[in-house]
A and B are shown apart, each in its own frame.
Chain A
Amino acid sequence: MAQATNGKMTKLLNTPLKVFTLYALVVLAGSIPAYYYIVNRIWLSEIDMHNKFVKRKIEKELNTIAINDTILAQNIRLWSHIEPGINLQPVAESTRKNDSRYTVMKSTVLHSKRLNRFRGLSSYLTINGKWYHLTVETNVEETDEVISNIAFVTIGFFILLVIGFIGLNQRISAKLWQPFYNTLNQIKTFDLSSRVPIAFEKTNIVEFEELNNSLQKLIDKNRATYQEQKEFTENASHELQTPLAIIQSKLDLLLQSKSLTANESEIIEAAHKALARTSRINKNLLLLSKIENQQFVDTEMMNVSQLVTDSLAFLAEHSETRNIVIEMRVEEYVYMEGNRILLEILINNLLMNAVRHNKDNGLIRVDFSKQGFIVANTGISNALNEASLFKRFSSSSSQTPGSGLGLAIVKQICSRYHWQIGYSFDNGFHTFSTSF
């Protein structure tokens, strides 16, 4: 089965993390101009108040001192020189306007090249009954400096948020989603054909509990169906045995008839053959369902090398009649634990196939060791369809009427003992390798 792990797959918890991070980024980025706007406004209004205060102070102080106009003009000039931010000019009353505030960029004396931002107040006041135009300009922090400071702090907070998200996410993943991952692992390891029922851990989260319950129901139902199907095969095969036995016995009796002609005898023989094949299929179906139903529970430690040698010895007479050469390399005294009958069937089926599907004057190579059992044989000159090879009734060779179940049984036995069975075709050899 193809694992669904392409590049676009992400873990469940990483998806909200990404979205949250993106959202935080947008919000924080949006907050920078907002902060700037607010800070700037507070700042300007503070400076405006300050400027107003300066104006009031000047007006009050100059009116209380009560000096004459010449000295006042001299002082104003001196003052303008020392404090360029404050400018006081005598004006005609007619030019008087309402107070106004403004922002201006200009260079200070000290930093002549750099432009600084100033907030100014333009106002009119009377000193000693004469009208003066007063401008007070106070240096304000530059816009880019304000923005960069705010941005700097904001980025700092953003980083803190992301670290927090990742940390929290991991904790959530470890705790909150644990039941989900438990369930997932249970399902991953679940095998319908295994007899072990699945049991989900209890969880106090409603959704997970619901998920578990639904899965439990689904699985139980499937198991029941599967069980029924298996039992059906077994029962059906059983039920067929008796009628088959009757037919067989009747044919045997018929063969005893004194008046039998050669022709009739051939008919009986043909029927016998077909019947033998039917009972063979039936027996093998029964065997398959028995293996699936785990009915071969007895295990023993046995010399498997001996089983292989015995089977080869038995096959020798069959291979010899067709002039098939068997090259064998059997490691001696390989002991394995398993069910004797199943192991015999596995070995016999593989070796028997190598003889049956071989060509006359062919070759069989048998390699048995602790690692595995490899049977290679010559035969038809093209590769068999591996995908269907181990399926029931998918005999890819029609001229040899086997039961069509031999390899399915081999596969079933292998999976029972968690062995790997594979097929390959190379250099004219069909190779079946079992690795223990």
Chain B
Amino acid sequence: MVVQVEDSQLVKQYIQGDERAIEALINRHNSRLTGFIYSKVGDRELTEDIFQDTFMKVIRTLKKGAYNEEGKFLPWVMRIAHNLIIDYFRKHNRMPMYNSKESYNIFSLLGDDKLDAERQLIKEQIDSDLIKIIKELPEDQQEVLEMRIYKDMSFKEISNNTGVSINTALGRMRYALINLRKLVEANSIVLTN
């Protein structure tokens, strides 16, 4: 069984001076990040440039010791890429190219995703309610749910890490969601923002 080293572990190794760790991180998230950038800018060369700038920023931040370990690595990298994409469009004073039809919403690309104070409070309440009810789940379901939602791992990675088949991991996720819904109903929790 191949056990995959977690991002946080690789980040730690890189900060301690292991250059192979950053290579592993770049290769691991290469296609995901490239796909994300390409979906926004629609240009192969520009995607390549933004990908490069993103990881240069990542490298600088890690070397400076300014990375906050509490956050997840990939969402953090995505956020950097997202900000660089916005910077690019602002600088070139143009909107992103998009080939779709009527259902296109410009704010999905350039919207301000910060919440106002009231919504932030509601979000925090929802998050804390969710954490409480997740703890009610059986341990195996909790494990899969945390890996999938909070650590952003694929089912293949979950399967490698837990030593169960992908189908079992999928099944556990499904039951985790079903049980979560039941718990939400039973405790009359409102999970909307």
Q: Are A and B genuine complex partners?
A: no
- The chain A residues found within 8 Å of chain B, CB to CB, are none
- The chain B residues found within 8 Å of chain A, CB to CB, are none
